[in-house]
Amino acid sequence: MATTNILQKLDRVTDPLVSGTVGSTVTTLNRSQSEIFLAGSAITAGQWVAFDVTQTGADRVLFVVPAALTALGNALTVGVARAAQATVGGKVEVVISGLAPVAAVNAGVAAAGVPLAVVAVTGEAAANVAANIAQPCGVSLAASVAGFAPVWVLKSF
């Protein structure tokens, strides 16, 4: 189940489709780490997910569900689902650390650098506040647009 986050490529690339551009693609150097979990319920792409504590034994940390809203921050938040998984028990890839290019982020997050926590809507992160007892689950890398933003997932797993 464990993956590594080995740095595989450090150069910048030129986009052959856009004349004169130089930059990195999402897969060039994003320093992300992902893990495969099993879905405890339907999950949509970009949702923040948390351990499914309705399971028993070690399955509590094998299954994930959309992170439930918790008034003071959801301490069970693991990361961001890369793709949707409608089948209970189906495999879901989750970014547990690093860049998640598309994550559910509350429209109130209007800038980069905002610490995030799941505090208002299931599966969606909002601005973390000092009163939250759970640590932030990520940091916005841009303002939320249509309920999504690129984020840096803070490793907690």
pLDDT digits over 51-100, tens only?
A: 999 999 999 999 999 999 888 899 999 999 999 999 999 999 999 999 99
Query: What are all long-range contacts of 40-45, with beta carbons under 8 Å and residues at least 24 apart?
Result: 40/64, 40/65, 40/88, 41/65, 41/66, 41/88, 42/84, 42/85, 42/86, 42/88, 43/81, 43/84, 43/85, 43/86, 43/92, 43/123, 44/81, 44/84, 44/123, 45/81, 45/82, 45/83, 45/84, 45/102
The reported pLDDT for the residue numbered 21 is 54
Please give the structure tokens belonging to residue 34. Answer: 């992902």
The reported pLDDT for the residue numbered 71 is 86
Domain boundaries, the chain: 31-153
The reported pLDDT for the residue numbered 102 is 95
The pLDDT confidence band at residue 24, using thresholds 50, 70 and 90, is low
pLDDT digits over 103-155, tens only?
A: 999 999 999 999 999 988 999 999 998 899 989 999 999 999 999 999 999 99
pTM given for the model? 0.84
